[in-house]
Amino acid sequence: MPRMAFVAAIVVLAIHVIFGALLTISDTGVRNIGLSDQLAIGLIGVIITGAVLLFTRPRLRVGPAGVGVRNLIGERVFAWDRVQGMTYPDKGFSARLLLPEDEHVPVLAVQAWDSDRAVAAMTGFRELEERYRR
């Protein structure tokens, strides 16, 4: 997912900067387009690029203190006494950290379309779970 987000961010930014720069080169029929409009189009591209780059943030950390899950915004750390495991739902696109009382937290760092990397992440999680769970 981070690779696709970087490519998408570059494409979005390039499109906005290029269209902003080319806006007054030819006769578009509109006479009131100025430098502020061109800069605004570029700024909109920067804002959208920032939103797309949020998809590079997901991370899963496993250690003696517990499991840390960082999705798009914020990170939450769950102690091992609260973690019941991690699984993929039947038709889901990302893994889920299982918690007591049928709660779960999506783990966007482990995506189904990552195929071999997702399998390796799940295997690594299970090995670390065995090591750190009391």
pLDDT tens, position by position, 42-85: 999 999 999 999 999 999 999 999 999 999 888 999 999 999 99
Structure tokens, 57 = 């943030």
Rounded Cα–Cα distance for residues 45 and 26 (Å): 21
For 79-122, write each residue's pLDDT tens digit.
Answer: 999 999 999 888 888 899 999 998 999 999 998 887 788 889 99
Tell me how far apart the alpha carbons of residues 19 and 23 are, in angstroms, rounded to a whole number: 6
Q: Is 77 helix (H, G, I), strand (E, B) or coil?
A: strand
Q: Which CATH number is 58-132 given?
A: 2.30.29
Query: What pTM was computed for the model?
Result: 0.73
Q: Taking a C-beta distance cutoff of 8 angstroms, is the pair 70, 59 a contact? A: yes
The boundaries of every CATH 2.30.29 domain in the chain are: 58-132
